[in-house]
Amino acid sequence: MTTTLTSEDLLTVHGVTKSYGAAGNTFLAVKDVDLRIAEGEFVCLLGPSGCGKSTLLRIIAGLMPATSGEVLYCGRHIEGVNPYATIVFQTFALFPWLTVEQNVTVALKARGVDPPTRHATALRLIDTVGLDGFEKAYPRELSGGMRQKVGFARAMAVEPELLCLDEPFSALDVLSAEALRGELMELWLGKKLPTRAILMVTHNIEEAVLMADRIVVMGKNPGHVVTEIPVTLRHPRARKDTAFQALVDRVYAAVAGHTPSEAEALGTAPGQPGLTRRLPPARINALSGLMERLNEEGGRSDLYRLGADLQLELDDLLPVLEAAQLLGFAQVTEGDAVLTPLGKAFAEASILTRKQLVAGRILRQPTVLWIFETLEKDDNQRVAQSYFLDKLRADFGDEAPRQLELAIKWARYAELFAFDDDTDELFLERGQE
C-alpha cells in the first residue's frame, strides 16, 4: 500500500444512516452515526441486539452501502468492498467442503497469489493459530473454537489493515472463547499482526472491557451511538479487579439506560400519530424469574451481577428488563434494577394473582389495548388475524407478525384474548365462557 496517511484516523464514519424498505414503509437500522478509528486502536461496538452494530460493521467493510453519510478510509472514499479490511464472522463462514488449508488459500487465490506462496503462507498461519496437523481436516471435524481459529487464519492471510470482528466468540463455548480471546490479544499486543486497527462488534460487556481501548455503546430504535467509553486499564486485564468491575458496571449502566417516562415507554397505539413502541421479546417465565430474584436480593440489584446470577447474556436480560419496566414492575437507575411495590407484589403472588396483575398492567400498552378494544367492539368478539397484521405493518413492517405473536402471548397469559389457529382469528377470552 503506497498511500501515506493524511491523518491519525484510519477510518472516519460520518453521519451514516441505513434504512431498508420502500417509501412509506421504511425501517431505520442505524441513524446518523459518527465514528472514528485511530491507527493502532482496538474499538468495540457494543449494544443490545437490533441496535444496528452488525449493520454498521458491514457498511464500514463495504459489504453494503450506506443510505446516506460517508465512510472514509485513510481519508478516501472506497467504492464497494474495502480491499484493506476483512471480517471474522460469528458463524465462522468457512466453506464446509474445503479443508482447513484450502479455506485459507482460497482467500489468497482470489488475490492472484501463486500456488507455492499460497501454500507456504497458509502453513505458516495455520501454525500461528495453533492448528498444525489439521491442514487436511474438514471444518466439520473441528470444534467450534478450532473453526474460529481457521477463520482468524483466513483473515490474517490477506494481511488486513483493518480487522473487523463480528461477535467472533459468541458462538463458542465459554472456555474456547476465553482461550481464543487470550491468543488474539497476545498476537495483537505483541504486534505480531500486520493489522493497523481492530473493530469488534459484541454484546458481551465483559469481553469489550477485557479487550478494547475504547467502547462505543449503541442503542436501538433506531440504532445510534449512545456514548463512548475509553478503557485505559493495563493489559493483561483481570476480571476480578475492582477497577475492571467498576468499568463493567459503568458500561452496563450506559447500555441499560434509565427507565424512560411512562408516556415515552408506552408510545402510541398503532395507526395513531407518534412512535408506536415495540413489545420486547421477553418470555413470561423469564420475567417471573427476574422478579423473584430481585425480591430475594432485597429489591435492588446490580445489573452486572443479576445477569451473571441468572446466567443471562445481555441480549436475553435486556428484553426481560424492558418488559418489567413496561409493566411497571421494575425500574433501572445507574446500572441497577430496582423492584417497584407492584413488582414486589407480583414476585410474592400466586399464579392466579400474577395473571390478574399482568392483565391490569398490560392493558396500558397501547398495542395490546388497541387489539383488546377492537375485539370488544366486534359483535362476535372475534376478528381475523390479517386485520391486525395489516394495521401493524404500517408501524412495524416485517416485524408485524412477531409483534402480534408477542401481544397474543402476553394476552394469553393474562387471559385477555387468544388466537384460534383453525380459523386464524383472535378472540376475547371472556367471550368463551
Residue numbers of the site for other proteins (CB under 8 A)? 58, 61, 63, 78-81, 83, 85-87, 89-98, 106-107, 109-112, 115, 138-141, 147, 154, 158
Q: Which is nearer to other proteins, 379 or 422 (CB)?
A: 422
Q: Tell me the C-alpha distance between 110 and 258, whole Å.
A: 49
273 Cβ contact list (under 8 Å, min separation 6): none
Output 80 or 190, the one with its CB closest to other proteins.
80
Nearer to other proteins, 79 or 433 (CB): 79
Give the shortest CB-338-to-other proteins separation in angstroms: 40
DSSP-derived 3-state class of residue 45: strand
Nearest to 85 by CA among 99, 71, 95, 103: 71
Please enumerate in sequence order all residues whose Cβ is within 8 A of that of 145, keeping only pairs 6 or more positions apart, or say none: 172, 173, 176, 177, 179, 180
Whose Cβ is closer to other proteins: residue 111's or residue 300's?
111
Distance in angstroms (rounded) separating the CA atoms of residues 255 and 204:
11
User: 36: how many CB neighbours lie within 10 A of its CB?
Assistant: 18
Find the shortest distance in angstroms from Cβ 89 to other proteins.
5
Q: How far is the CB of 41 from other proteins (least distance, A)?
A: 21
**Could you give the angle at the alpha carbon of 402 between the alpha carbons of 400 and 405, nearest 5°?**
110
Q: Which is nearer to other proteins, 20 or 95 (CB)?
A: 95
Cβ partners under 8 Å of residue 262, min gap 6: none
Our CB check for other proteins shows the closer of 36 and 154 to be: 154
Sequence-ordered alpha helix ranges (H) in 13-85? 53-61
Q: What does the block give as the cell for 34? A: 459518527
Smallest gap from Cβ 214 to other proteins, in A, equals 24
Smallest gap, in angstroms, from Cβ of residue 160 to other proteins? 9
Give me the least distance between CB of 1 and other proteins, in Å please: 10
What three-state secondary structure class fits 290?
helix
In one-letter notation, the amino acid at residue 13 is V
- Give min distance, CB of 55 to other proteins, in A: 12
Name the residue nearer to other proteins (CB basis): 81 or 275.
Answer: 81
Instruction: Answer yes or no: are the C-beta atoms of 326 and 266 closer than 8 Å.
Output: yes
